[in-house]
Amino acid sequence: MARHERFRISHTRAADATFRSMTEAYQAGVLMGTAAGPNGRTVNLNGQALLNFGSCGYMSLETHPELRRGAHDAIDVYGTQFSFSRVLLQCPLYVELESALEQITGRPAVVGASTSLVHQAAFPLLIQDGDSIIIDQFAHASLHTAVKLLPSVPMEIVRHNRMDLLEEMLARLGQTSRHIWYIADGLYSMLGDFAPFDQLRTLLERHPQLRLYFDDAHATSCLGQRGRGVALDQFIHDERVVVALSLNKAFAAAGGMLSLPTESLKARVRRAGGPMLFSGPIQPPMLGAALASARLHLSDGFADLQQDLQSKLELCGELLAEAGLDIPMDIRSPTFHVQFDSPRLAAAILGATARDASELGEPLLEANAS
């Protein structure tokens, strides 16, 4: 039995377990709510005004005047949709957006309708016959989904951030593989920790066959030079590294992008990546917002916005420590978790906290639980 088989269970059992867990959280009133009012620092939910600790809009750019103006201007020029497949004709805003993103990342960039679709476009073109895949167990679900598009490529799952186990796999797979793709998050949404970049750089030096593919969606905008995330800051000049970024979340628009080391790879993904040919485009309002966000990232004041977020994170860490909450890491990113023994316990505690806050008439400090 292949080593990765230990991590696999019946898809029916997995679906049933997910349904049970989500149902418990739904019944406790902590998931799948509907906001009654606008997005912002507070969210109105079930008659309560709650401080919002669950948003992925880490820098609140979704309400920035420049992004609003960009969306409005795009509607005025192009309407609500540009109804062509990009394989035939694309909205001119795509050209401006990819140009601005290349200034941010310092590399060729191709934009897709979502980060998930970017992975699905890239994997069949980057990962070829004779290659192997190693994926971190906590890599984003969109990465695990995209890997399934390549059933003929040998794939193994490695325990989270275990570089010792990764090196053992590299030594073994290196005997039969042309390239070995290690697929991971730059900043993990599950735990809020980072990939071990220094150790991965060492492994790149030791193993010429190694290639790295990062999903850095949660680090986009809030971290890295001009908001290019943490992985590109580490590997900007390495042609063996590919990085996907999100134009949602902190970037506050729509879509995803792939930062590639060469123009030839960009052309390959753009012209032959499945979702680049058949999926619907990002529509003009969100293209306009994305272009406005990219220009904001390139502005002189963007580093100040990042520093403001870091100052808030430092204050958050101090207040959590004073409150005695056990956060199992330094808070260096806006993604972190309070640890519970089980999803059921997390739902019960948060549900009870919500009821207590309602009775006291106080806003709830709601923490994300992974």
Look at residue 4 in the predicted model and tell me its pLDDT: 47
Phi, psi of 288 (to 5 degrees): -65, -40
CA atoms within 13 Å, Cβ hemisphere of 234: 25
pLDDT reported for residue 352: 66
What domains does the chain contain, in order, with CATH numbers? 3-60+338-360 (no CATH), 106-280 (3.40.640.10)
For residue 365, is pLDDT > 70?
A: no
The DSSP code sequence of 40-96 is: SSEEEETTEEEE----S-TT-GGG-HHHHHHHHHHHHHH-S---S-TTT---THHHH
Task: Give the model's pLDDT for residue 77.
Answer: 97
pLDDT in tens, 22-81: 888 777 777 787 877 777 778 887 777 877 777 889 999 999 999 999 999 999 999 999
Contact call for residues 121 and 213 (beta carbons, < 8 A): no
Q: How far apart are CA 366 and CA 166, in angstroms?
A: 36
User: Where would I find the beta strands (DSSP E) of the chain?
Assistant: 42-45, 48-51, 109-112, 132-136, 155-158, 180-185, 210-215, 241-246, 256-259
pLDDT, residue 21, reads 81
Q: In what order do the strands lie in the sheet with 180-185?
A: 109-112, 256-259, 241-246, 210-215, 180-185, 132-136, 155-158
40-54 pLDDT, tens digit per residue, is 778 887 777 877 777
- Pairing mode, if any, of strands 180-185 and 109-112? unpaired
pLDDT class for 353, splitting at 50, 70, 90? low
pLDDT tens across 158-174, in order? Answer: 999 999 999 999 999 99
- Which percentage of the chain shows pLDDT scores above 90? 65
